[in-house]
A and B are shown apart, each in its own frame.
Chain A
Amino acid sequence: MSGTPQVALPRWVDIGLLPIINLVQALLVAGLVVLIIGVNPLEAMRIMAWGVVQDSVSISYTLYYATDFVFTGLAVAVAFHAGLFNIGGEGQAYIAGLGATLAMLAFDAYLPGFLLIPIGLIAATIFGAGWALVPAYLQAYRGSHIVITTIMFNFIAASLMVYIGSDILRPPGEMVPSSREFAPAAYLPHVHDIAAWLGIEMPSTPLNLSILWAAVCCVFVWVFIWRTRWGYAIRAVGLSPKAAIYAGISPKRVIMIAMCLSGALASGVALNQIIGYHHHMLLDFVAGAGFTGIAVALMGRNHPIGIVLAAILFGALYQGGAELSFEIPTINRDMVVAMQGLIILFSGALAYMNRPWIARLYLMFDRRAVLAEAT
């Protein structure tokens, strides 16, 4: 990802201005598409924005969607820091859902909630990390390209889950591939449950305590990447594997650690969806969150704070998009998917398109500032 001669820009341009410009570019193209299908883009924007902020229900939904994207965004970011592109977040989260389900099916008749939920989370994390470790091993020790293997593992996970959901876990008499419902002890409390317990009235939404785990993960990732020896090793390998070897760091071990953590983070989706909301295993519960994570990590510049902001933005896009397709049926919900693609295009693939002219613009203003001081 290097190779272009770059002007050093101040941090606020790199982490603040550029992502906003990318977002505006994506919005402009999306607005053009909306215009092509005969809808006023400004009206569409207004409906979307109102659809997000209108009441506590819409805000709760936004945060519920954002929770998934924090997990997958962090997963992509940690791998990015090691110079790895983990496209497999989708499959890792999916398999994590299997881990959570198996743990709940095994123990929900015997254990109380305060033991069940940690066990479910640990099982999910082990499964998700395990699913990431195979491509990691193949990359580190067999030299297979991790992009290809993680893509393949997404498809293998999908087939495996269809098989397990329809042939093994499906309760008798049930038509849809799924598992049986967990016992209520295995439900992660909803935020509105907690609020009611505290005496605050809140409408019932899928938002659950996974959001706290997401916050913990953010802090953990920040400490791990920037404040520990392993994080240093990860960043060193990401910047220059050769230099890292001279420093006595083993890139192979770093690949294993980074991917293990990446898979573990993606597993948070299983906590939010399976333990927190659906309470049984179902097909396709990840619903593209693994891919949204790529857009979130790119926009959030691989930093937990940026990722939280980008995740909330995407949560808002999902919630606003749902509202928009409800109000204007000509605009399909998949407009949000197209937006994601555009954001990945502008902030990832075309990242070097904007930088030169912004750098030129910045230098122009900067020189003026210098001149003004001189006179």
Chain B
Amino acid sequence: MEDLWLQLVSILSATLRMATPLVFAAMAGMFSERSGTIDIGLEGKMLAAAFAAACVAVVTGSAWVALLGAIIVGILMALLHGLACITYRGNQVVSGVAINIMAAGLTVVLGNAWFGRGGQTPDLAPAARFMPLKIPGADNAFGIPVVGPVYSNVIGGHNLLVYMAFITVPIAWWVLYHTRFGLRLRAVGEDPKVVDTAGISVAWLRYRAVIIAGTLCGFAGAYLAIAQNAGFSPQMTAGRGFIALAAMVFGKWRPWPAMFACLLFGLLDAIAIRLQGTKFPGIGEVPVEFIQALPYILTVVLLAGFVGRAMAPHTLGQPYVKER
């Protein structure tokens, strides 16, 4: 019994760690898409940010400077997306695809040229990373039955970025629903003409939204490269940008539901490896690949309208042209 509990605790703890980059990226996607700009490029922005974080960490040895570097690169990629989608009114999906492919190629090329390890960056020292934090009394608390392990391993024992990810959600919620900026942001995604008529710049609002998205992708990438892992490895985002996109759709473009979708997908990720070879009564062995594909399958089912209805922002994907 005790053993089973500890296992559950470790699964929950892993769920939070797996969900962290998804939460950052899903919030990023939400800001961008709520303003009417499709963000297929979450994956690429995250990957470029992860690479930037690792490179800066190698050079400066400081985790904080590395985080800043990741954010800057995230924003630069986002500005490129903004330039293509908002200023030049290009196809937003094409722009996202371009960002993903460029990031996939350039990170490996530059990494290989600078560090000569086939795109991998050198292993980072603990000082150059965000290491797990000890919360007060964690060691003593672990001995307390039932709640002890929860306190020290689920609530505590994570690195700073994990906490930041989950703090981002109430902040995003507050910004979107309780500030003037948030109201305008949602309005510009639903009907830009109204916002324009009110004398507010549609382009500047949308640019601010994609910059927020770039910043959050910076956090997500930094988490992958200098918190969860000790360096960058090629294609290390491994589709997480798309899972985050799926979580955002699954959460119907709203912060709290999107976060719960991230937790659900994080849980699936955490249990997939543990369930390998386990036989369920009545079902038999569930292939790991099925559990890994489940986030995508669930999202398709949701999109198909079989479970509720996914309502996208009304003018998502349409560039705004002022009438002359």
Chain A contacts to B: CB under 8 angstroms: 1, 3-4, 33, 36-38, 85, 87, 138, 142-145, 147-149, 151-153, 155-156, 159-160, 162-163, 167, 291, 294-295, 298, 330-332, 334-342, 344-345, 348-353
Contacts of A85 in B (CB 8 A): 91, 93-94
A87 to B94, CA, bound (A): 10
Which one of A145, A148, A149, A348 has the highest number of Cβ atoms from chain B below 10 Å of its Cβ? A148
A37 to B246, CA, bound (A): 36
A-B pairs, 10 with minimum CB distance:
A338-B105, A341-B102, A337-B105, A349-B95, A341-B101, A37-B113, A159-B293, A144-B303, A348-B94, A349-B84
* A348-B90 contact, Cβ under 8 Å, with A155-B293, A338-B106: yes
B118 contacts the other chain (Cβ, under 8 Å)?
yes
Residue pair B97, A144 in contact (C-beta under 8 Å): no
A350 to B99, CA, bound (A): 12
User: Mind listing 7 A-B residue pairs with CB under 8 Å?
Assistant: A142-B305, A147-B40, A151-B242, A151-B245, A338-B105, A349-B91, A353-B84
Q: Which residue of B lies closest to A351 (CB)?
A: B90
Q: Which residue of B lies closest to A159 (CB)?
A: B293
Q: Per a CB cutoff under 8 Å, which of A144, A159, A163, A341 touches B103?
A: A341
B163-171, B199-207, B220-228, B284-292 - interface stretch: B284-292
A36 to B110, CA, bound (A): 9
Tell me the smallest distance from the CB of B35 to a CB of chain A, in Å.
17
Tell me the smallest distance from the CB of B32 to a CB of chain A, in Å.
14
Contact mask for chain B residues 32-57; partner A; CB cutoff 8 A; 1 contact, 0 none: 00000010100000000000000000
Contacts of A162 in B (CB 8 A): 289
Residue pair B245, A148 in contact (C-beta under 8 Å): yes
Contacts of B93 in A (CB 8 A): 85, 87, 147
Residue pair B113, A4 in contact (C-beta under 8 Å): no
Residue pair A291, B101 in contact (C-beta under 8 Å): yes
Residue pair B40, A330 in contact (C-beta under 8 Å): no
* A33-B290 contact, Cβ under 8 Å, with A291-B101, A350-B88, A352-B89: no
A85 to B246, CA, bound (A): 18
Tell me the smallest distance from the CB of A37 to a CB of chain B, in Å.
4
B108 contacts the other chain (Cβ, under 8 Å)?
yes
A133 to B93, CA, bound (A): 21
A345 to B84, CA, bound (A): 8
Chain B contacts to A: CB under 8 angstroms: 38, 40, 80, 83-85, 88-91, 93-95, 97-106, 108-110, 112-114, 116, 118-119, 234, 239, 242, 245-246, 249, 287, 289-290, 292-293, 296-297, 299-300, 303-305, 310, 312, 318-319, 321
Tell me the smallest distance from the CB of B119 to a CB of chain A, in Å.
7
Q: Per a CB cutoff under 8 Å, which of A167, A336, A349 touches B98?
A: A349
Q: Which residue of A lies closest to B94 (CB)?
A: A348
A337 to B93, CA, bound (A): 18
Residue pair A330, B103 in contact (C-beta under 8 Å): no
Q: Which residue of B lies closest to A168 (CB)?
A: B287
Tell me the smallest distance from the CB of B91 to a CB of chain A, in Å.
6
Residue pair B94, A298 in contact (C-beta under 8 Å): yes
Residue pair B113, A148 in contact (C-beta under 8 Å): no
Tell me the smallest distance from the CB of B265 to a CB of chain A, in Å.
12
Q: Which residue of A lies closest to B85 (CB)?
A: A349
* A163-B290 contact, Cβ under 8 Å, with A138-B303, A349-B94: yes
Residue pair B300, A87 in contact (C-beta under 8 Å): no
Tell me the smallest distance from the CB of B142 to a CB of chain A, in Å.
37
Residue pair A330, B84 in contact (C-beta under 8 Å): no
Q: Per a CB cutoff under 8 Å, which of B89, B292, B305, B318 touches A144?
A: B305
Residue pair B88, A33 in contact (C-beta under 8 Å): no
Residue pair B109, A155 in contact (C-beta under 8 Å): no
Contacts of A294 in B (CB 8 A): 94, 97
A342 to B108, CA, bound (A): 15
Residue pair B321, A148 in contact (C-beta under 8 Å): no
Contacts of A330 in B (CB 8 A): 112-113, 116
Residue pair B300, A334 in contact (C-beta under 8 Å): no
Q: Per a CB cutoff under 8 Å, which of A145, A160, A341, A352 touches B105?
A: A341
Q: Which residue of B lies closest to A344 (CB)?
A: B98
* A138-B103 contact, Cβ under 8 Å, with A152-B246, A159-B290, A348-B90: no
Residue pair A145, B242 in contact (C-beta under 8 Å): no
Tell me the smallest distance from the CB of B164 to a CB of chain A, in Å.
27
* A344-B296 contact, Cβ under 8 Å, with A147-B40, A163-B287: no
A371 to B106, CA, bound (A): 48
A250 to B208, CA, bound (A): 40
Contacts of A337 in B (CB 8 A): 101, 104-105, 108
Q: Which residue of A lies closest to B321 (CB)?
A: A3
Q: Per a CB cutoff under 8 Å, which of B40, B98, B116 touches A151?
A: B40
A366 to B21, CA, bound (A): 54
Tell me the smallest distance from the CB of B69 to a CB of chain A, in Å.
16
Q: Which residue of A lies closest to B285 (CB)?
A: A167
Tell me the smallest distance from the CB of B38 to a CB of chain A, in Å.
8
Q: Which residue of B lies closest to A167 (CB)?
A: B287
A167 to B289, CA, bound (A): 10
Contacts of B98 in A (CB 8 A): 341-342, 344-345, 348-349
Contacts of A344 in B (CB 8 A): 94, 97-98, 101
Known A142-B305, A298-B94; further 18 A-B contacts with Cβ < 8 A: A4-B321, A144-B305, A147-B38, A148-B246, A152-B297, A153-B300, A163-B289, A330-B116, A332-B112, A334-B109, A337-B104, A344-B98, A348-B98, A349-B85, A349-B90, A350-B83, A351-B90, A353-B88
